[in-house]
Amino acid sequence: MTATDEPGTDDRQAVADEPPSTALGPRAAVKAGGVGTVAILSGLATVDELDNALLGIFAPEIQDALGISTTGLAAIGTASGAVFVAGAIPIARLADRTNRSVIAVVATVIWSASLALLGFVQNVFQFVLSRVVTGLGKSNTLPIHGSILADAYPEEARGSVYAIHGASGPFGRVLGPLTVALLTIVITGDDAWRTIALIAAIPPFVMAGVAAVWLREPKRGAHERERVLGSAAALDTDEQPIAMSLAFERIRRIATFDRIATGIGVIGFTIFSVPIFVSLVLEDHFGLSAGERGVIGTVGAVVSLVAVPVGATIGGKIYARDPALLLRIMGVSVVVTSALLSIAVFMPNAVLYTIVASAGGAISSAAFVTLFVIVSSIVPANLRAQGFSLIGVYVFLIGGFFGSIVAGIVADSIGTRPAIPVVLLPAAIVGGVLIASAGRTVHADMQRVSDDLIEAASEQERRARTGEHPVLQVKDLHVSIGTVPILHGIDLEVNDGEILAIVGTNGSGKSTLLRSISGLQSAERGVIRFGPTDITLQSAHARTRAGIVQLAGGRSSFGPLTVRENFEVGGLHLDDEVRRRRVDEALELFPELDRLLDQRADRLSGGEQQMLGLARALLLDPDLLLIDELSLGLAPVVVGRLVGTLDRIRADGTAIVIVEQSLNVAAATADRVVFLDRGRVLFDGAGDDLLARPDLARAVFLGGGA
């Protein structure tokens, strides 16, 4: 498509308002993005289950060999899960900025080596260490696999592709227990699990080698850009590394994601402990050997494997028509699956247990096979890896750790068998309701991802057409503190050398806006650009290095330090020569400070402290200076002195945004004044024009003029 053929904003909006397209079947879906990516990632996910099968089948033997109680075994499983979750966080951070394929290979080598070392453990400490390292290696699965598949295949193919990848779980649960069960026929004895651990480590090593050679890194978000913008070419937004805390906060503010992840987290109250307890029930109450337990696990996995393509076909059609309905089905399936498993453990024999439990597993597998399709459609492409990893964080923090401990205590108190429904059913009901409720917001969150792409493309075209490049641009900024909305769709721009004043009533969001621009407050929605760079998810220190400096309200100096020491702290990252030169320049602006260099800052007057704070900010040579309440508590003559200094600063090309309590000072100081009320812009124009608006001017305290 040529530049003249590209769709306009209205055309893009029409495309974005439509569902991606009809879901593709498995063959067409794989063809759309190539067989290699999904095949390799599915292979890696399949061999993951070898480790799980070994631990699940040999849990009683490992308990006896190492002298571990039921509670202790559950706690060790939780520790491995904790590392699985914690490791996913830095891996996701790496994945959103580096080659994900390399990460997948290295992580697989790590956990397969740990599995091999499991065969040599002699005590509880070594066993714990092995499980922790295994959890670390496996922690790449959520952030890496999900995000690579989303970027490698178009939206209409993802249902089938995620189904194929999702089938690797049940397939691994067939292959893993079957492999372990067959090995128990050949390898016998109380320590058979040690030798089998060494053998089970071979397939993941092989798959890591295959991935190292053939797994390719796809372009991020290309298919969404192709659908919404008409071109897969990356937008020229000069995106910088993302701050993990701001990214997680942004993702958490996606209502659909928060409800899904919280629901899964509540279910996580049982996710680490129940599989181990089931294995103990199969041994203690049904008298099954390790091999027989493996056969039952294999039967259940086969049933789930059959259910996955059925769920993908039906789920893909439902997703294309109504994603909200799909989420409600997922929520109901959680409750049904948990109820069936709770019934299964009380069956009179192993055959009936297998039938009932397998039915529950099949329902869950079929319903959740399209979960990642929904997650990838509501989380922006540059945050997907961290979004997938955050699901694991919810699982562990909400339920995983404490859930396993509580479940272990309950099992030791009332027995393993009755503990399963006591722990499982309440968590399933709460989690299922939360997942089902996510359907209320899924359409709006999907639309928002498309809207953000349209805005970025439209802004890029506008800048290319007009040649306008504002120093600061804030678009549709929404900010909440806790659950309280503060800013509602703020739009503003600041140009080179311009002074913009922000005024408004108390609590209107003025300081919150400044903190959002400087990176001290996360944005719920919207975009903040500094020149050509999208800094919405940059850390505060990265923004400072880029040239944004904020002078906090009040007396912004380090009180116990002298004026000279304040300058030294303010220029710590500068070399000595540059710092001395900039201090000299600051003292030229504020000669009053020269005679006070050895005076403690907290003994200066209010005006002198404000001068010191401003002088220290100028050491960083900002392109954009943010000042909160410049005139607060100062005499008019001092305010006039500071205002005159601002004119000299902006003459050097520095843009200034100042939050001001006095409308008179704002009008006298700034080129433009923005009036905020309850988090919304009610006026943007010349200060004199605002003074001529009595309906707005009355709302602001008219302080002394400069």
pLDDT higher at 225 or 15: 225
Based on the fold, state whether residues 162 and 125 are members of the same structural domain: yes
Nearest to 645 by CA among 687, 606, 614: 614
Q: For residue 229, is it within any domain?
A: no
Based on the fold, state whether residues 560 and 427 are members of the same structural domain: no
Q: For residue 236, is it within any domain?
A: no
Q: Span 112-132, mean pLDDT?
A: 87
DSSP states of 84-95: HHHHHHHHHHHH
Q: For residue 205, is it within any domain?
A: yes
Note down the domain range covering 349. 25-220+242-448
Based on the fold, state whether residues 116 and 146 are members of the same structural domain: yes
The Cβ of residue 189 has, within 10 Å, a number of other Cβ atoms equal to 10
In this prediction, residue 232 carries a pLDDT of 55
**3 state SS of 484:** strand
Asked if residue 190 has pLDDT above 80, the reply is no
Task: Give the integer Cα–Cα distance in Å for 387 and 375.
Answer: 8
pLDDT in tens, 484-493: 899 999 999 9
In this prediction, residue 533 carries a pLDDT of 87
Mean pLDDT rounded to a whole number for the chain: 83
Based on the fold, state whether residues 325 and 364 are members of the same structural domain: yes
Segment among 94-103, 229-238, 345-354, 593-602 with least mean pLDDT: 229-238
Q: For residue 117, is it within any domain?
A: yes
CATH number of the domain where residue 674 is located = 3.40.50.300
704, 664 Cβ separation under 8 angstroms: yes
In this prediction, residue 75 carries a pLDDT of 73
- Please give, one letter per residue, the 3-state secondary structure of 686-698: CHHHHHCCHHHHC
- Could you identify the residue written with the tokens 């923090």? 397
Based on the fold, state whether residues 403 and 497 are members of the same structural domain: no
Confidence of residue 136 (pLDDT cuts 50, 70, 90): confident
Nearest to 472 by CA among 503, 508, 499: 499
Task: Give the integer Cα–Cα distance in Å for 500 and 498.
Answer: 6
Residues linked to residue 499 through DSSP beta bridges, in sequence order: 656
Q: Span 680-687, mean pLDDT?
A: 89
Q: For residue 680, is it within any domain?
A: yes
Extract the tokens encoding 516: 């959002």
Asked if residue 693 has pLDDT above 60, the reply is yes
| CA-atom Rg of the chain in angstroms | 30
pLDDT in tens, 486-538: 999 999 999 988 999 998 888 889 989 999 999 999 888 899 999 888 899 88
Task: Give the integer Cα–Cα distance in Å for 370 and 260.
Answer: 13
Based on the fold, state whether residues 478 and 417 are members of the same structural domain: no
pLDDT in tens, 541-578: 889 888 999 987 656 677 788 888 888 888 777 888 88
Task: Give the integer Cα–Cα distance in Å for 471 and 102.
Answer: 37
Residues 193-197: contacts with CB under 8 Å, at least 24 apart: 193/54, 193/58, 193/61, 193/62, 193/65, 193/119, 194/118, 194/119, 194/120, 195/119, 196/54, 196/58, 196/119, 197/54, 197/115, 197/116, 197/118, 197/119
The helix (H) or strand (E) run that includes residue 316 is helix 290-321
Task: Give the integer Cα–Cα distance in Å for 483 and 486.
Answer: 9
Asked if residue 227 has pLDDT above 80, the reply is no
In this prediction, residue 436 carries a pLDDT of 95
Task: Give the integer Cα–Cα distance in Å for 151 and 147.
Answer: 6
- Judge if pTM exceeds 0.95: no
Task: Give the integer Cα–Cα distance in Å for 664 and 30.
Answer: 65
The helix (H) or strand (E) run that includes residue 529 is strand 525-530
Q: Which amino acid is at 367?
A: A
Based on the fold, state whether residues 361 and 502 are members of the same structural domain: no
CA 587 to chain centre: 45
Edge-to-edge, what's the strand order for the sheet holding 484-494?
484-494, 472-481, 525-530, 533-534
Based on the fold, state whether residues 267 and 327 are members of the same structural domain: yes
In this prediction, residue 706 carries a pLDDT of 35
Task: Give the integer Cα–Cα distance in Å for 336 and 603.
Answer: 69
Task: Give the integer Cα–Cα distance in Å for 495 and 473.
Answer: 9
53, 182 Cβ separation under 8 angstroms: no
The strand pair at 525-530 and 533-534 is best described as antiparallel
Q: Span 422-437, mean pLDDT?
A: 90
CATH number of the domain where residue 355 is located = 1.20.1250.20
Residues linked to residue 502 through DSSP beta bridges, in sequence order: 659, 674
In this prediction, residue 502 carries a pLDDT of 93
Q: For residue 375, is it within any domain?
A: yes
Residue 26 vs residues 35, 124, 169: alpha-carbon distances, Å: 11, 45, 17
Sign of the alpha-carbon torsion through 330, 331, 333, 334: positive
Edge-to-edge, what's the strand order for the sheet holding 672-677?
548-551, 624-628, 655-659, 499-504, 672-677, 680-685
Based on the fold, state whether residues 77 and 140 are members of the same structural domain: yes
Asked if residue 22 has pLDDT above 70, the reply is no
Q: How many degrees, rounded to 5, is the angle at CA 163 between CA 385 and CA 219?
A: 40
Based on the fold, state whether residues 435 and 496 are members of the same structural domain: no
Extract the tokens encoding 473: 């641009």
Based on the fold, state whether residues 425 and 501 are members of the same structural domain: no
In this prediction, residue 247 carries a pLDDT of 84
Task: Give the integer Cα–Cα distance in Å for 471 and 301.
Answer: 57
Confidence of residue 104 (pLDDT cuts 50, 70, 90): very high
Last residue of a domain, one of 398, 418, 448: 448
In this prediction, residue 681 carries a pLDDT of 92
Sign of the alpha-carbon torsion through 432, 438, 440, 442: negative
pLDDT in tens, 289-345: 876 887 887 788 788 888 888 888 888 888 888 999 999 999 999 999 999 998 998
379, 254 Cβ separation under 8 angstroms: yes
The helix (H) or strand (E) run that includes residue 302 is helix 290-321
In this prediction, residue 283 carries a pLDDT of 83
Q: For residue 10, is it within any domain?
A: no
Last residue of a domain, one of 417, 448, 479: 448
Q: Span 435-463, mean pLDDT?
A: 88
pLDDT higher at 21 or 212: 212
Q: For residue 463, is it within any domain?
A: no
Q: Span 1-19, mean pLDDT?
A: 47
Last residue of a domain, one of 448, 479, 498: 448
In this prediction, residue 329 carries a pLDDT of 94
Based on the fold, state whether residues 197 and 333 are members of the same structural domain: yes
Confidence of residue 83 (pLDDT cuts 50, 70, 90): confident
**3 state SS of 303:** helix
Q: How many domains in the chain?
A: 2
